A and B are shown apart, each in its own frame.
Chain A
Amino acid sequence: MIALIDYGAGNLTSVRKALTHLGAEIATPHTPYDLELARGIIVPGVGHFDATRAITDEWRAGIRAAVARGAALFGICLGMQWLFDGSTEAPGLPGLAAFAGLCTRLPSDGTLLKIPHVGWNNLTQPQPTRLMAGIEQDAQVYFTHSYAAPLTSAAAATTTYGAATFTSAVEHGRIAGAQFHPEKSGDVGLRILKNWLDSL
Chain B
Amino acid sequence: MLSKRIIACLDVRDGKVVKGVNFEGLREAGDPGELAARYNHEGIDEIVILDVTATMEARQARAQTIRAVAREIFLPLCVGGGIRSEDDAAAAIDAGADKVSLNTAALRDPSLITRLASRYGSQAVIVAIDAKRQNARFEVYARSGTDLTAKDALDWAREAADCGAGEILLTSIDRDGTRAGFDCALTAAVSDAVPIPVIASGGAGAFEHFAEVFTAGAADAALAASIFHFNEKSVSELKRFLAARAIPVRL
Contact = CB atoms under 8 A, between A and B. Distances in A.
Nearest to B166: A116
A24 to B, nearest CB: 14
A5 B76 CA distance: 21
B197 A119 contact: yes
Nearest to B93: A11
B3 A11 contact: no
Nearest to B199: A118
B2 A121 contact: yes
A190 interface: yes
Interface stretch (B21-29, B115-123, B172-180, B205-213): B115-123
Contact of A190 (B3, B74, B124, B167): B74
Contacts of A117: 2
A77 to B, nearest CB: 9
A199 to B, nearest CB: 20
Contact of A116 (B1, B94, B96, B196): B196
B236 interface: no
Nearest to A193: B74
Interface in A60-97: none
Contact of A10 (B2, B40, B95, B121): B121
Interface centre among B5, B75, B96 (most CB of A within 10 A): B75
Contacts of A47: 120-123
Given A11-B93, A189-B74, A121 B3 contact: yes
B221 A119 contact: yes
Given A18-B74, A119-B5, A190-B74, A10 B120 contact: yes
Interface residues of A, number: 36
Nearest to A21: B74
B121 A46 contact: yes
Contact of A119 (B45, B93, B95): B45
The A interface, classified by DSSP as helix, strand, loop or mixed, is mixed
A17 B221 CA distance: 26
Nearest to B117: A47
Interface centre among A21, A47, A118, A140 (most CB of B within 10 A): A118
Given A10-B121, A120-B3, A114 B96 contact: no
A105 to B, nearest CB: 12
B220 interface: yes
A114 B93 contact: no
Interface in A176-200: 181, 183-187, 189-190
Interface string B85-112: 0000000011110100000000000000
A61 B10 CA distance: 46
B96 A118 contact: no
Nearest to A190: B74
Given A120-B5, A186-B40, A13 B123 contact: no
A119 B196 CA distance: 12
Interface centre among B94, B122, B167, B250 (most CB of A within 10 A): B250
B127 interface: no
B74 A118 contact: no
Interface in A91-145: 108, 111, 114-122, 140, 142, 144-145
B197 A114 contact: yes
B94 A13 contact: yes
Given A13-B94, A120-B2, 17 more contacts: A11-B124, A13-B93, A14-B70, A21-B74, A47-B122, A111-B195, A114-B195, A114-B196, A118-B166, A119-B4, A120-B3, A120-B250, A121-B3, A144-B76, A181-B76, A186-B74, A189-B74
24 contacts: A11-B93, A11-B120, A13-B70, A13-B93, A13-B94, A14-B70, A46-B123, A47-B122, A111-B195, A115-B196, A116-B197, A118-B123, A119-B220, A119-B221, A120-B2, A120-B3, A120-B5, A140-B3, A142-B45, A144-B123, A181-B76, A184-B75, A185-B75, A187-B74
Interface of A: 9-11, 13-14, 17-18, 21, 46-48, 108, 111, 114-122, 140, 142, 144-145, 160-161, 181, 183-187, 189-190
Interface of B: 1-5, 40, 45, 70-71, 74-76, 93-96, 98, 120-124, 166-167, 195-197, 220-221, 250
